[in-house]
Amino acid sequence: MRVAPAGNDDEGMTRTIEAWKCVGCGRLQAERPCIGVCSDRRIELVEAADYAELAWRVEQLEAALALIAHVTPKHEALPASWLALQARARTLLEGRDAATR
């Protein structure tokens, strides 16, 4: 998963727009030239920094899952491999826990 640069609408990418946000009330404003066919719709927005952080976490979690799915350790290395996977999972979860505090 990648974060798209502003205005990029490639398949598999998330489209972003630039807007102004009031630090007081939270109002968002993204001026665009109107061509006379506009229709307002309610949408949900996520700040790009929040999205980028989640995208990074998903990449890390997918990498950890790929190890579990595609690596078969030798029998004698199984305990050490399991401990390494647990350590990696704990590190990822600690990052999540620190972000929610």
Residue 81's domain spans which residues? 20-100
Per-residue three-class SS string for 46-58: CCHHHHHHHHHHH
Task: Give the whole-angstrom CA distance, residue 23 versus residue 30.
Answer: 15
**pLDDT at position 13:** 63
Please report whether residue 2 resides in a domain: no
- Residue ranges in the chain whose pLDDT is less than 50: 1-10
What pTM value is reported for the model? 0.58
Q: How many structural domains does the chain have?
A: 1
Predicted confidence at residue 14, as pLDDT, reads: 73
Measure the CA–CA gap between 44 and 34, rounded to whole angstroms. Answer: 21
- Quote the pLDDT of residue 30: 81
Give the integer Cα–Cα distance in Å for 96 and 90: 10
